[in-house]
Amino acid sequence: MPPPTSEPRLLSPAQLQSVQRIAYDCCGLDLRRGKEALIESRISHHMREKGFTDVREYLSLLDGGRNRDMLDGLLSHLTTNHTYFFREPSHITFFEKHICAPLAGTREKLFVWSAASSSGEEPYSLAIAAREALGAEAATKVRILATDISLRMLARAREGVYPAEALTSMAPPLRQRYFQLDRASERYRIRDEIRAMVAFRRLNLIEPLPQFPPADVIFCRNVMIYFDAPTRAGVVDRLIERLRPGGYFFVGHSETLGLADERLGYLEPSAYRRV
């Protein structure tokens, strides 16, 4: 019997390299080793969505990343957007009890930046936590800027509508207080008072950051794991520059920074404060 033939590859080695280079240069994603199958499956998904059958035609329109629309689509497929409400809950509890609650009855305000917000679960969890700590005062006291590189995720986040499975990580009373069930679609819509606390905007963490006021709190969680060490160091450096002294910095639980940066003091696992 002849040996089984291996599946034909979608991308030649040169084409694969060019996609890896685009992902790295445009987004900081380190997809160089062992990610070939992932790249191929994500590209074929994007090709199907755009109606391409020929990968050469697809790459030629991508034009090395110069076609912004195609690049956005490609990056949206290559990035990992997995997230959920109240992820890494010790951070959200810390935010609610130690950062928001002390603002009650004061004139102080809080500017929070969720720096890789994906489909909105993280910034909405923070808005809910602030509302739990401050009640109606949260609406005027806490402002959350949620940014992501992916236009597709930002659109989903702005819509603020989630299937029931997406809310299972949240205590049921919170779901009842802050979501409305749309009976027709059986999906849950975040209530207006929570949505109004969050502004969404596209921002690429590896590019020079646009101007906005220094943040009191930055959440940059579960994105730096996809960057290599130099990219990660550059991103952390720029984020700390945007944090006001005394401000709080949260990274993902698997992204602990150590205490290499003298501008940061350690609070608890993956939570820091600018000194």
* Selected binder of ligand SAM within 204, 233, 240, 267 (CB under 6 A): 204
Query: Pick from 107, 102, 112, 108: which is nearest to 133 by CA?
Result: 102
* Selected binder of ligand SAM within 19, 223, 236, 243 (CB under 6 A): 223
Distance separating alpha carbons of residues 184 and 168, to the nearest angstrom: 20
Residues between 153 and 192 that touch ligand SAM (CB under 6 A): 153
Q: Mask 102-141, x = binds ligand SAM (CB under 6 A)?
A: --------------x-x---x-------------------
Is 182 among the residues known to form the active site? no
Given 148, 156, 195, 242, the catalytic residue:
148
Given 42, 221, 242, 274, the catalytic residue:
42
Q: Which stretch binds ligand SAM (CB under 6 A): 147-155, 159-167, 168-176, 236-244?
A: 147-155
Q: Does 83 bind ligand SAM (CB under 6 A)?
A: yes
Is 148 among the residues known to form the active site? yes
Distance separating alpha carbons of residues 132 and 135, to the nearest angstrom: 6
Residues that bind ligand SAM (CB under 6 A): 27-28, 79-83, 87, 116, 118, 122, 148-150, 153, 204-206, 221-223, 252
Catalytic positions, written as ranges: 42, 148
